[in-house]
Amino acid sequence: FKIAGASTVFAFSKPLYTLDLKEFGKIEDFQLSPGKNPSVAVFIPGQKGNPAYIKVYSLPNVKSPVSQKQFFKGESCTFKWNALGTSILALVSTDVDSTNKSYYGETQLYLLDISGLFDQKIHLPNEGPIHEITWSPTSREFAVIYGYMPAVTTFFDSRGNSIHSLPKAPRNTILYLSLIHI
């Protein structure tokens, strides 16, 4: 697999797919999905007044993205696929907070799926950084810890709808435990 413009290249004897996104800028990060139907998500940071992009391609079709999001304020990105490889969370951040409320910059969370039916920003009602994002083992929901400490923990369904929030507490890690019945 080869992505033109990416800083990391996997060396194979002959690439199976070539994804050329030079017209959008330098690819900062990318991640292949797990699951039976592979997809690749790429992040292209915004620069010189141009927007940042997240694009998801379903392999082997690399001609056009199945899902994409365009936005401003994006310098780096961390991807988290669900276990099925059907949806991805993109934690986008900047080094500087334009409002000067945080020393650590700004963070935004986006949810995209491989069907192309939805791509959206996850709206979090409290201001502050996003500390943790985690998919449940079932891939049907995800959790986010966000806001200034003490932080809020909110659980969302796979479409990004809030389903439950925990009271504010000093948390920064989410772990889903599997219980095995014998």
> Average pLDDT for consecutive 10-residue bins of the chain (182 residues)?
56 60 70 86 84 86 82 85 91 70 74 85 88 92 92 92 92 80 64
Residue spans of alpha helices (H) in the chain: none
List all residues 6 or more positions away from 47 whose beta carbon is below 8 Å from its beta carbon. 25, 26
Q: Measured between alpha carbons, how far is 83 from 134 in angstroms, rounded to an integer? A: 11
Which pLDDT score is estimated for 11?
56
101 Ramachandran zone, left/alpha/beta (phi>0; psi -120 to 50): alpha
What end-to-end distance do the CA atoms of the chain give, in Å?
43
List all residues 6 or more positions away from 180 whose beta carbon is below 8 Å from its beta carbon. none
What digits encode the pLDDT tens for the residues 95-125? 765 555 555 677 889 999 888 788 888 999 8
Coil, strand, or helix at residue 79? Answer: strand
180 Ramachandran zone, left/alpha/beta (phi>0; psi -120 to 50): beta
Structure tokens at 125: 């009602």
Which pLDDT score is estimated for 50?
80
List all residues 6 or more positions away from 17 whose beta carbon is below 8 Å from its beta carbon. 1, 2, 59, 60, 62
Q: Measured between alpha carbons, how far is 3 from 52 in angstroms, rounded to an integer? A: 17
Compute, in degrees rounded to 10, the torsion defined by CA atoms 157, 149, 101, 80. Answer: -40
